Amino acid sequence: MIDPNAPPATVADSDFETLEEAKVTVKEKWQGAVNEGSGFVAVPMSLLRLQSKYKLTPTEMLVLINLLAHWWDPKRPVFPRSTTIAKRMGVDLRTIQRATRKMEKAGLIERDKLADGKRVFSFDILAKRLAHDMPLAFAAQGQETFGS
């Protein structure tokens, strides 16, 4: 019988004999859907668990994930074109603009313009906010249910 008050099992506790068995690469996990040059997006689980606290609609969350897909160096802002994101998502440009404006006003992202007029996004404030809200993310994790 499973104790409902017990802490969640870790991967090593539940599914694998050793931690070595748990080390699966992104490429292996995605069975060929990720390869040289195809890339992937790193999104912290805390962001997923706190999206309703941050009042992110599904569309805004997907816009944010599309922006994060370009962010690998924390010291460098990114400059994906809103038209590119709109095309990927199958929505109009105004949808992307509204989403980014709302996230900026909510203090989740920062937008700026470079000297050449290029619009850039940075995520330092999002990272700091997520770090600050980690206790809330852990509490949300404890309330998640799994299985059927």
pLDDT in tens, 84-104: 999 999 999 999 999 999 999
CATH 1.10.10.10 maps onto the chain at: 43-143
Cα separation, 60 vs 28, in Å, equals 30
pLDDT digit string (tens) for 34-60?
Answer: 887 777 888 999 999 999 999 999 999
Mean pLDDT of 17-28: 71
* CATH number for region 43-143: 1.10.10.10
Cβ count near 128 (within 10 Å): 11
Work out the burial of residue 136: count CB atoms within 10 Å of its CB; fewer than 13 is exposed, 13-18 middle, 19 or more buried. Answer: middle
Give the Cα-Cα-Cα angle 140, 141, 144 (nearest 5 degrees): 90
Q: Considering the entire predicted model, what is its pTM?
A: 0.77
Q: What is the pLDDT of residue 3?
A: 45
Residues 123, 129: Cα–Cα separation, whole Å: 10
